[in-house]
Amino acid sequence: MTLSYAHILRQLAKERPDAPALTFSGETWTFAQLNARSSQTACALQAAGVEVGDRVALLTKNCAECFELMFACNKIGAILTGLNWRLSPAEIQSIVADAMPRVIITSPEEAHLLTPAVQQQVGVRQLITLGERYQQWRLSADDTDPGHEGAPDEVALLLYTSGTTGLPKGVMLTNQGMSYTPRLGALWGMGSDSVNLVAMPMFHIGGCGYGTSAMTVGGHTVLMREVNIAHIIQLISQYRVTHTFLVPTVVQALLEVPNIELADLSSLKWLMYGAAPMGDVLLRRAMDTLRCEFIQAYGMTETSGTVVQLPPADHVPEGPRAKLLKSVGRAIDWVQLRVVDPANQQDVPTGEVGEIWIQSEMLMSGYWRKPSETAETMQPGGWLRTGDAAYLDAEGYIYLFDRYKDLIISGGENIYPAEIENVLNGHAAVLQVAVIGVAHEKWGETPRAVVVLRPETNASEAELVAYTRERLAHYKCPTSVVFADALPRNASGKLLKRELRLSHGAQFT
């Protein structure tokens, strides 16, 4: 039997009714309370006309009701659709038109992102604002568990991709795919005594996927409304947090806190990182400073979360195994992985760069209302094309380069921006860097580095180019460097290179 989120919560409410399940903004709900609240919310959704397969859209920064609604939808076979509050009103309107939800729930702070057209969308029966109105709406319903038992292939979540390559696509994640969440939690050393700090947004797989990893094995989840470095330090100490997931930019910001080595982070056992490249320079610094176990996670929305990991045992800073810090790890036990030449769809030899293909029961069932895009991504035999360029070594470790779309071809040579970025991250004056390809009259394309300098430091274009030339083949090195105050990123911390190309991609001659 595939374990749905609803089934897992029902069991935990029986086995651990009084144990803490979720803490948000100083208030803690037990498993029994979370179960009861989600049952009542499920009944309220049914009373609003929500049926099996209907979408319920949620537009808010993180709050306790995000989990309440996720379990509530699963208890009636509805599909929770998280809306990205970082998008523009026009983008949100486009997603709502695509998802066609029956009910939209938003917060007072994010309600302004819903255009009048969204509120008049065909099929939307209710628009409910979190707070007093939401509580009245929930309390007016019966509190009996509707008892729906979802099939393995039933869609539980509709998560829209972060849109780094264009318009977001709705990814359909099933009960079967999400049933691997507690197995992942166990893999990460989580149990009933674990306390998991969740800062990733709940419209993202890192929020609703990783965010339930400790909860689904009986552990305690401490949820943050949004990332705040000082608050992260406070919560780790206050709740004796044992696990957390942070994107590299947040890890970097944490390390920049004055006297961070003196903060009480002693309870932290495992820190997971991913969603964007860390780079071994920043990783070594984090390991030296934070002194907990590190796990690198590789996955995507389409894989229902993590499918490749570099466990703590492979985080060795010195010796022959130190090279693994440049790897994202190996496929986990229930995942098959290939590296394929996109031109002929044949596996490439060990050590050669190709595209990562994944096969697992965790994979999405497809893109919502996009059969052609689904067919392009999902290949015969159940293989998913990730679009990520990488190579495998003889031990099965995967070394990620870049998205294939970010590959720079200069004078016939393939150049992977991440390789240049990793080198420049080692320069003392570089805080952040991104490398893009710009047009070149002679070479077709050439690398350009966009650099954010550390406060009170200086570095010239010539100095940074020379720094890379000491460490890389000259054809890989940037031929220009421009400086910026910040780099554009999406909610999961991924660089928005299409925006960099628009702002810093003028032709180089």
Higher pLDDT, 94 or 42: 42
Sequence-ordered list of residues with C-beta below 8 angstroms from that of 100, at least 6 positions apart, any chain: 55, 121, 122, 123
Three-state secondary structure readout of 42-76: HHHHHHCCCCCCCEEEEECCCCHHHHHHHHHHHCC
Residues 454-475 have pLDDT tens digits of: 999 999 999 999 999 998 878 8
Question: pLDDT (tens digit, 9 = 90+) per residue, 50-61?
Answer: 999 999 999 999
**509 has pLDDT over 60:** no
Using CA atoms, how far apart are residues 55 and 53, in angstroms rounded to an integer? 7
The HSE-up count of residue 16 (CA atoms within 13 Å, CB side) is 20
Q: Which of 295, 311, 299, 371 is nearest to 337 (CA)?
A: 299
Is the Cβ–Cβ distance between 398 and 330 less than 8 Å?
yes
CB 446 within 8 A of CB 437: yes
In this structure, are residues 424 and 449 in contact, taking their beta carbons and an 8 Å threshold?
A: yes
Q: Does residue 412 register a pLDDT over 70?
A: no
Q: Report the share of the chain in percent with pLDDT over 70.
A: 95
Q: What is the pLDDT of residues 155-200, one digit of tens each?
A: 999 999 865 445 689 999 999 999 999 999 999 999 999 999 999 9
For residue 114, is pLDDT > 70?
A: yes
**Number of C-alpha atoms within 13 angstroms, CB side, residue 362?**
28
**Cα(67)–Cα(199) distance, rounded to whole angstroms?**
14
What is the SS3 string spanning 1-45? CCCCHHHHHHHHHHHCCCCEEEEECCEEEEHHHHHHHHHHHHHHH
Which tens digit of pLDDT belongs to each residue from 233-280?
999 999 999 999 998 889 989 999 999 999 999 999 999 998 766 777
What pLDDT does 291 receive?
A: 92
Per-residue pLDDT at 404 exceeds 70: no
Q: Which two tokens stand for residue 227?
A: 């990332």
10: Cβ–Cβ under 8 A, 6 or more apart, which residues? 35, 145
For residue 149, what pLDDT is reported?
Answer: 94
Q: Which two tokens stand for residue 162?
A: 């972060």
**Would you say residue 375 has pLDDT above 90?**
yes
Could you give all domains of the chain from N- to C-terminal order, each with its CATH number? 13-178 (3.40.50.12780), 183-403 (3.40.50.12780), 407-504 (3.30.300.30)
Phi, psi dihedrals of residue 41, rounded to the nearest 5°: -65, -40
> What pLDDT is recorded for position 165?
47
**What integer best gives the mean pLDDT of the chain?**
92
Per residue in 203-221, pLDDT tens?
A: 999 999 999 999 999 999 9
Q: Which of 331, 3, 384, 24 is nearest to 177 (CA)?
A: 3
Q: Which of 166, 88, 94, 168 is CA-nearest to residue 499?
A: 166
